[in-house]
Amino acid sequence: MSDRKVAVTVALFASLREIVGKKEIEIEVRENTNVREILELLGKRYAQEVLKRVLDEEQKSLSRNYMILIDGRNIQLLDGLDTKLRGDERITILPPIGGGLNCLRTL
């Protein structure tokens, strides 16, 4: 594993932004750190609630309600939570979005 440090930016939205108190966080990590390790780091530095919402602890996987993008690419199309980071990437954590067709039916 590389000891070289790299910077990644984590963009947070909605409830995660409220929990952490910031819309973006820049984190310095070792090169080849994976997405799961980034989430664990957020949980340690800011709030365990981040982990509880984003990870399905039983399945040890991403909660089906959240989407994580690295530079606009869904991690589910890469290596999931094991996707490694090279540095200078932007990680976007998108929470569930309400609304849609069910809202229109009530009008």
Mean pLDDT of 1-7: 82
pTM: predicted TM-score of the whole model, two decimal places: 0.83
pLDDT at 107 over 50: no
Domains of the chain: 5-105 (3.10.20.30)
pLDDT value at residue 36: 93
| Per-position DSSP letters for the chain, written without gaps between them | ----EEEEEEEE-HHHHHHHT-SEEEEEEETT-BHHHHHHHHHHHT-HHHHHHHEETTTTEE-TT-EEEETTEEGGGTTGGG-B--SS-EEEEE-----SHHHHHT-
pLDDT value at residue 101: 54
pLDDT value at residue 96: 77
pLDDT value at residue 49: 84
